[in-house]
Amino acid sequence: MSAPAVVTKSARSRRIWYGLQTGDEVAHLVTFLFAACILLLTAFLVWELWVQSAESRAKFGFHFLFTSNWDPVSGDFGALPFIYGTVVTSVVALIISIPLGVGAAIFLAELAPPRLSSACTFLVELLAAIPSVIYGLLALFTLIPLMRSYGEPFLKKTLGFLPFFDGPAYGVGYLSAGMILAVMTFPFVIAISRESLMEVPRDQREAALALGATRWEATFLVVLPYARLGILGSIFLGLARALGETMAVTMVIGNDPAIHASLLAPGYTIASVIANEFAEAGSSLHTSALIEMGLVLFFVTIVVNALARLLVLATSRKGTAQSS
């Protein structure tokens, strides 16, 4: 060991001490390089996307985001149908998963005994581990036939006067894609909302109950608003996942590059069109247009993710600040 060497402070000991310190220098350098590598890799990814989409950006400019003509043969590309499809399926997913997810989170955070709560949370989190292609496989053979034979005809009969439920019952389409996406966002909404709810200090709840509120009133009027930032954050995280989902959506969206008002109609999302057309994109303009849409998707998911993290961070800070 070096202790005696330091004490004597001879030239030889200084050299040994220096040698040991360069061990630290080496470790510092090596780990620094790897950390820098990660930084550079990500920057490189963004740069690559930017450069590879140059041809499309130069030709179409911002109009790309607002035109709906997708014609690989004549070289005219517009991203609007895909942006529309991505947004609509995600919105449908959220409409389904927010009430179900927040409801389940409330139950698990407030009402369920702790063992049941952690067991159920574990099970729900397992939903997040299931690969997207398996969701697609299941949806294709279970959800789609059910929707086509029962679900969609029922919606047409009851709500068919609305433009959202117009047109033939294909089975595939925005609605089915939204439904499968909802299942994929459950784990995010439930797990993180539950955590946010559990972080609300006990005194808040107890004060409400002391004032004579029922359990539901205490939860709905006091705890939920307190945790709303975290719940919102969980919703954004779920949204970020839904926006980028590829395989499950590709198998059930119907692949129609057009804008339809009806949820029963087939559509297309950004991720799906890239998955379907990238390997066979004939011209460099076609490839570039697909990559530009990838860039758009990338930016949107980054923003949504960033917002989500800010929100979740804000709740936990608020929680710890108040309870101390």
Partner 1 sequence: MNRLIFRKIVNGVMLFLTALCTLATVSVLFLILGYLVYNGGKSIDWNFLTKLPLPPGEVGGGMANAIVGSATMVGLAALIGLPVGFLGGIYLAEFGGKTFAFAVRYMADLLNGVPSIVIGIFAWGIAVKPMHGYSALAGAFALSLMLIPISLRTTEQFLLTVPRSLREGALALGAPKWRVISSVVVPAAMRGILTGMILGVARVAGECAPLLFTALNNNFWARRLTEPTAALPIMIYRRAIAPYDDWHRQAWAAGLVLIAMVLVTNIAARYLLSRGISVQKG
Partner 2 sequence: MNMSMKIVLATMAAGALVGTAAAQSLNGAGATFPAAIYGKWFEEYRKAHPKTEINYQSIGSGGGITQLTAGTVDFGASDAPMTDAEIAKLKVRPLHFPTVLGADVITYNLPVVKQPLKMDSAVVAGIYMMKIKKWNDPAIAKLNPGVKLPGDDIVVVHRSEGSGTTYIFTEYLTKTSPEWAKGPGTSKQPKWPGGLGAQGNEAVAGMVKQTPGAIGYVELGYVLQNHMQSALLKNAEGEFVEATTASVTAAAAAAAKTMPADFRVSITDAKGKGAYPAASFTWLLIPSKIQDPAKKAAIVDFLKWMLTTGQQYCANLGFAPLPKSVVDLETKQISQVQ
User: Which residues ranging from 21 to 80 are in contact with partner 1 (CB under 8 A)?
Assistant: 21, 23-24, 26-28, 30-32, 34-39, 41-43, 45, 48-49, 52
Q: Is 266 in the site for partner 2 (CB under 8 A)?
A: yes
Choose which of 59, 76, 87, 107 interacts with partner 1 (CB under 8 A): 107
Question: Positive or negative, the Cα torsion across 127, 130, 133, 137?
Answer: negative
Residue 148, contacted partner among partner 1, partner 2, none, CB below 5-8 A by kind: partner 2
Choose which of 258, 259, 307, 314 interacts with partner 2 (CB under 8 A): 258
Contacts of 74 (CB under 8 A, 6+ apart): none
Residue 73, contacted partner among partner 2, partner 1, none, CB below 5-8 A by kind: partner 2
- Cβ 88 to partner 2 shortest distance, Å: 17
Residue 70 in 3-state DSSP?
strand
Measured from the CB atom, is 12 or 157 closer to partner 2? 157
Contacts of 32 (CB under 8 A, 6+ apart): none
Task: Kindly determine how many residues on this chain lie close enough to bind partner 2 according to the rule CB under 8 A.
Answer: 24
Q: Is 145 in the site for partner 2 (CB under 8 A)?
A: yes
Residue 259, contacted partner among partner 2, partner 1, none, CB below 5-8 A by kind: none
Q: Is 2 in the site for partner 1 (CB under 8 A)?
A: yes
Measured from the CB atom, is 81 or 319 closer to partner 2? 81
**Of all residues in the chain, what percent are helix, strand and coil, respectively (each to 5)?**
80, 0, 20
Measured from the CB atom, is 154 or 220 closer to partner 2? 154
Choose which of 126, 159, 162, 210 interacts with partner 1 (CB under 8 A): 126
Ranges within 272-311 binding partner 1 (CB under 8 A): 274-275, 278-279, 290-291, 294-295, 297-298, 301-302, 305, 309
What torsion do the CA atoms of 125, 126, 128, 131 make, to the nearest 10 degrees? 180
- 70 - beta bridge partners? 77
Per residue in 114-134, is it b (16+ CB within 10 Å) or e — as a string?
eeebeebbeebeebeeeebee
Q: Give, in degrees to the nearest 5, the angle at Cα 132 between 302 and 37.
A: 45
- 71 - beta bridge partners? 76
Q: How far apart are CA 249 and CA 54, in angstroms?
A: 28
| 286 closest CA partner among 55, 50, 46 | 55
Choose which of 57, 59, 67, 72 interacts with partner 2 (CB under 8 A): 72
Residue-wise DSSP of 17-68 = HHHHHHHHHHHHHHHHHHHHHHHHHHHHHHHHHHHHTHHHHHHHGGGGGT--
Q: Is 144 in the site for partner 1 (CB under 8 A)?
A: no
Ranges within 160-219 binding partner 2 (CB under 8 A): 168-172
Where on the chain is the footprint of partner 2 (CB under 8 A)? 71-73, 144-145, 148, 168-172, 254-258, 266, 268, 276-277, 279-282
